[in-house]
Structure 1
Amino acid sequence: MQIQGVIDLLEAWAPRSYAEDFDNTGLLVGDRHATLKGILVSLDCLEAVVDEAVERGCNMIVSFHPIIFKGLKKITGSDYVQRAVLKAIKHDIAIYAIHTALDNNWEGVNHQILQTLGATKSSVLIPKANTLKKLVTYVPQAESKGLLDALFAAGAGAIGDYSECAFTSTGEGSFKPGEAADPALGKQGERHYESETRIEVLVPFHCESAVIKALLSTHSYEEVAYDLIPISNTDKQLGMGMIGSFETPLSEAEFLALLKERMHCGGIRHSKLLGKSIQKIAVLGGSGAFAIGAAKAAGVDAYVSADFKYHDFFSAEQRLLLVDIGHYESEQYTKNLIVQYLTKKITNFAVLLSEINTNPIFYL
């Protein structure tokens, strides 16, 4: 198996097309065509993690955070980023970063937080926009089932927990092949009428190329008529943050104690206690101050994230409890999630969980 095979698996699960624009995901270091020897999964890819990969016989590191985030103008080993990259190159170790592609996944970072807390997820906090299009095409009636099968296999027609969704209607199409045409139906220079099926299916952004390829390769017409229309609908299982709830409401003290225990927090910062029970919550792993407004609009009792600044806590406005559990703490179980996924997909290569705690923050 080549390293590219692992990349294909990761991007089928968390497509890079859904990563945020500011991010730097994908293969950052290494040869995608190199033969895979073993995979080490980490939250961060520091020099110590590269050393661990060498010691444990792994030539690929799958890291949640990208070690290269801003452009590198030189690689001289003068800082921790350059030292990690230099060592990885020296030992022929590939580095792949998944970051916000997994943040936006329905079963990604925030799913893991809710699962760890024992809460049931219900919806995405901030659905990602511009991720859906509608494909409309026309096909001879006898070919409609075969074309639908091809479109579904390429990823079209998925809506939430439903797949193979489409709308079809019948009518009559007409066309006149020119002298240079090679029509599958009809004759050159003569208008032809054909009973056709109109097919409408949703196409997720990351499947667009595959769906169009399937359409053109399966359709019998020399010139295929189709429309690919951007729509304002959002994919309700794709986006930043997640909303969930506890079966039984907790007091604020019980909720904070649960966070401290389950998330192994060195310290918790929170807004003013309101004396209200906590049942509906929102979570967002990593820096989540930007989503405070969305959490308030969702009517949650508490919003859990990290990296809140002083003035962010004022915006709670006694409407919800804001809780900052720490950046590392909110994402620490992400590497376990990645290992679980890859272990199910790859059975003949070692997928190892890094044993190094990369948290740069310490508490008294």
Structure 2
Amino acid sequence: MTVKSVAQILEELAPLEHAEDFDNVGLLVGDSAMEISGILVTLDTLESVVDEAIANHCNLIVSFHPIIFSGLKKITGKNYVERTVIKAIQNNIAIYAIHTALDNTFNGVNAKICEVLGLGSTKILIPKKDTIRKLTTYIPSAEADNLKEKLFKAGAGNIGNYSNCSFALEGTGSYKAGEHSNPTIGEIGKTHFEKETMINVTYLKSSENNVLNALMKHHPYEEIAYEVYSLENQNQNIGMGMIGELNEAIPELSFLRHLKKTMGAQVVRHSVLRNKPVKKVAVLGGSGAFAIGAAKAAGADVFVTADVKYHQFYEAENEMVIADIGHFETEQFTKNLLVDYLTKKIPNFAIHLSESITNPIKYF
């Protein structure tokens, strides 16, 4: 088992292409070809976490937050980031970060919050743009079904809960092979007419290499005619935040007590209560104030997030309640999610849940 093979497994859950542009995800420290002895899963990678990895004989740390976020011009140990990186390198420990790639995953960070809070009928709060591609190609009709199957196997044709989706049109294609060509069908120098099928399939941007490789490998023509389009369609399975519903409406104070208990929050900072029942709840782990408008537009009674600034609480405008329970508190169950996932994918392998409490905020 190598670092690269574990990264591939993680990227089946959370493709790095789904991460936000500002983020720094993937393998941050180490050799992708290194054989691993064990995996330590953590929310943050600190010196103490590297020590924990050493004690557990783990040479791969899978971290939610990236220890290297902005560029490092020097690594001299002058701050906690540099000291952590130095210790990891000295002990031949690789560090992989998943962060907003997992934030944007349907079964990721926010799904875990919904699960803990007992929310059902969940859906993405802010669908991510530019994640859907469309492929159109033309192929001899006798070969169309075979090519479609190969494209489906490569990841094309998946729309929501449906798979093997495509659309085809029959027609006649024409071409004249040039002097230096090697046509599969037809003769050099003569215009050839062929009964062809136009195939249309959509796929995730993250699957593009696999889909195009399948097209090139299984299309019979020497020169393949195809077009790739970027679609504006909203992707209901990828994006930031989630919104769901409680089994039954409860009073606001009852919900705040439930929130504080289930999420282990020391305190809940909230906007003015509306004295209305809570049924629909929006969540966004980490710094989620940017989604206040989206939560209101979705009809949320309460929006659970973190790092809300003073004036941002005004943005609730008595349309919903904003509840800030703390950055660590919203994301604390993420490492459990990753351990469960990796354990299912790699049974009988040393996968450890970090016991380090990396929350930098203390309460008095």
Q: What CA distance in whole angstroms lies between the structure 2 residues aligned with 1:149 and 1:108? A: 29
Counterpart of 1:192 in structure 2 is 192
CA contact (8 A) 1:103 1:110 kept: yes
Counterpart of 2:180 in structure 1 is 180
Aligned pairs for 1:43-54 (under 5 A) are 43-54=43-54
TM-score relative to the length of structure 2 = 0.99
Counterpart of 1:328 in structure 2 is 328
Over aligned residue pairs, what C-alpha RMSD do you find? Answer: 0.8
CA contact (8 A) 1:243 1:282 kept: yes
Aligned pairs for 1:97-136 (under 5 A) are 97-136=97-136
CA-to-aligned-CA distance 1:291-349 (integer Å, 9 cap, x gap): 00111111111100000000010010000010001000000000000011111111242
Unmatched tracts of structure 2, length 5 or more: none
Q: What CA distance in whole angstroms lies between the structure 1 residues aligned with 2:341 and 2:145? A: 33
For residue 72 of structure 1, report the CA deviation from its aligned partner: 1.0
For residue 68 of structure 1, report the CA deviation from its aligned partner: 0.6
Residue 30, structure 1, aligned to residue 37, structure 2: no
Counterpart of 1:57 in structure 2 is 57
Counterpart of 1:82 in structure 2 is 82
For residue 163 of structure 1, report the CA deviation from its aligned partner: 1.2
Counterpart of 1:159 in structure 2 is 159
Counterpart of 1:144 in structure 2 is 144
Counterpart of 2:40 in structure 1 is 40
Counterpart of 2:225 in structure 1 is 225
CA contact (8 A) 1:157 1:201 kept: yes
- Residue correspondences, number: 364
CA contact (8 A) 1:269 1:325 kept: yes
For residue 142 of structure 1, report the CA deviation from its aligned partner: 1.1
Give the match's secondary structure for 2:182: coil
Counterpart of 2:246 in structure 1 is 246
Deviation larger for 114-123 or 330-339: 114-123
Residue 69, structure 1, aligned to residue 69, structure 2: yes
CA contact (8 A) 1:304 1:324 kept: yes
For residue 121 of structure 1, report the CA deviation from its aligned partner: 4.0
Counterpart of 2:303 in structure 1 is 303
Give the match's secondary structure for 2:22: coil
Moved over 4 A (4+): none
Give the match's secondary structure for 2:7: helix
Q: What CA distance in whole angstroms lies between the structure 2 residues aligned with 1:334 and 1:323? A: 19
Give the match's secondary structure for 1:126: strand
Counterpart of 1:318 in structure 2 is 318
Aligned-partner residue type, residue 84 of structure 1: T
Residue 274, structure 1, aligned to residue 274, structure 2: yes
Counterpart of 1:204 in structure 2 is 204
Counterpart of 2:339 in structure 1 is 339
Give the match's secondary structure for 2:143: helix
For residue 191 of structure 1, report the CA deviation from its aligned partner: 1.2
Unmatched tracts of structure 1, length 5 or more: none
TM-score relative to the length of structure 1 = 0.99
Give the match's secondary structure for 1:245: strand
Q: What CA distance in whole angstroms lies between the structure 2 residues aligned with 1:137 and 1:330? A: 45
Counterpart of 2:7 in structure 1 is 7
